[in-house]
Amino acid sequence: MTTTNTKLNFSAGLLSVAVAATLVLLKLWALRETGSLSVAATLMDSALDLMMSLSGLAAIAYAAKPADDDHAFGHTSAEDLAALAQSIFILGSAIVIAYLAAQRLFAGDVPLPQQEEKGIAVIVISIALTGALVLWQRSVAKRTKNKVVEADSLHYIGDLVPNVGAILALIASRTLGIGQVDSVVAIAAALILAIGAIRIGRSAWDALMDRAADDETIASISEIVGDFDGVHGFHDLKTRKAGSRVFVNLHIELDGDQSLFDAHEIGAALRRAIVREHPNADVLIHKDPRGAPPHPEDERVKPH
- The CATH number of residue 34's host domain is 1.20.1510.10
E strand or H helix that includes residue 284: strand 281-289
Q: Are residues 128 and 35 in the same domain?
A: yes
* Contact of 77 with 245, CB cutoff 8 Å: no
The predicted structure's pLDDT at residue 134:
86
Domain end point (choices 193, 208, 223): 208
In a domain, 301, yes or no: no
- The pLDDT value recorded for residue 283 is 92
Round to whole Å and give the CA distance between 183 and 84: 28
C-alpha separations of 203 from 23, 81, 148, 206, 248 in Å: 27, 11, 11, 5, 19
Do 186 and 101 share a structural domain?
Answer: yes
pLDDT confidence of residue 303: 44
Domain count, the chain: 2
In a domain, residue 303? The reply is: no
Residue 285's CATH number: 3.30.70.1350
Instruction: For residues 204 and 253, state if they share a domain.
Output: no
Task: Please write the tens of the pLDDT for every residue from 266-290.
Answer: 999 999 999 988 887 889 999 989 8
Indicate if 158 and 106 belong to the same structural domain. Answer: yes
Do residues 22 and 157 both lie within one domain?
yes
**Which parts of the chain register pLDDT below 50?**
1, 112, 303-304
Q: Has residue 226 been placed in a domain? A: yes
Tens-place pLDDT, residues 86-136:
778 778 877 887 887 787 777 655 554 555 566 677 778 888 888 888 888
Burial 33-56 (b: 16+ CB within 10 A, else e): bbbbbbbbbbbbbbbbbbebbebb
Same-domain check for residues 268 and 165: no
* Contact by Cβ (8 Å): 137, 129: no
244 three-state secondary structure: coil
Please report the pLDDT score of residue 285 as a whole number.
Answer: 93
Q: Are 39 and 166 in contact (CB under 8 A)?
A: yes
Tell whether 297 is covered by a domain: no
Report yes or no on 53 lying in a domain: yes
Tally of CA atoms within 13 A in the half-sphere of 14 that contains its CB: 7
- Residues 177, 274, single domain; the answer is no
Dihedral class, residue 36 (left if φ above 0, else alpha if ψ from -120 to 50, else beta) = beta
Element of type H or E holding 245: strand 245-254
Q: Which residues contact 50 (CB under 8 A, 6 or more apart)?
A: 17, 20, 21, 24
Q: What is the pTM of this model?
A: 0.57
> Per the domain annotation, does 304 fall within a domain?
no
Does the residue 302 lie in any domain? Answer: no
Whether residue 136 sits in one domain with residue 23: yes
Rounded Cα–Cα distance for residues 73 and 157 (Å): 32
Domain boundary, last residue among 185, 208, 231 = 208
What is the model's pLDDT at position 267? 93
Range of the domain at 227: 215-289
- Residue 58 one-letter amino acid: A
**201 and 240, same domain (yes or no):** no
Can you list the alpha helix ranges (DSSP code H) found in the chain?
3-34, 37-63, 77-105, 116-144, 147-176, 180-208, 215-226, 260-277
Q: Which of 208, 229, 244 is the last residue of a domain?
A: 208
- Quick one: 107 and 166 in the same domain? yes
Question: Does residue 299 lie within any of the structural domains?
Answer: no
In a shared domain, residues 190 and 99 = yes
Contact call for residues 33 and 121 (beta carbons, < 8 A): no
What does the pLDDT read at residue 304?
A: 38
| Pair (173, 242) in one structural domain | no
Enumerate residues 6+ apart whose C-beta is below 8 A from 212: 218, 238, 239, 240, 241
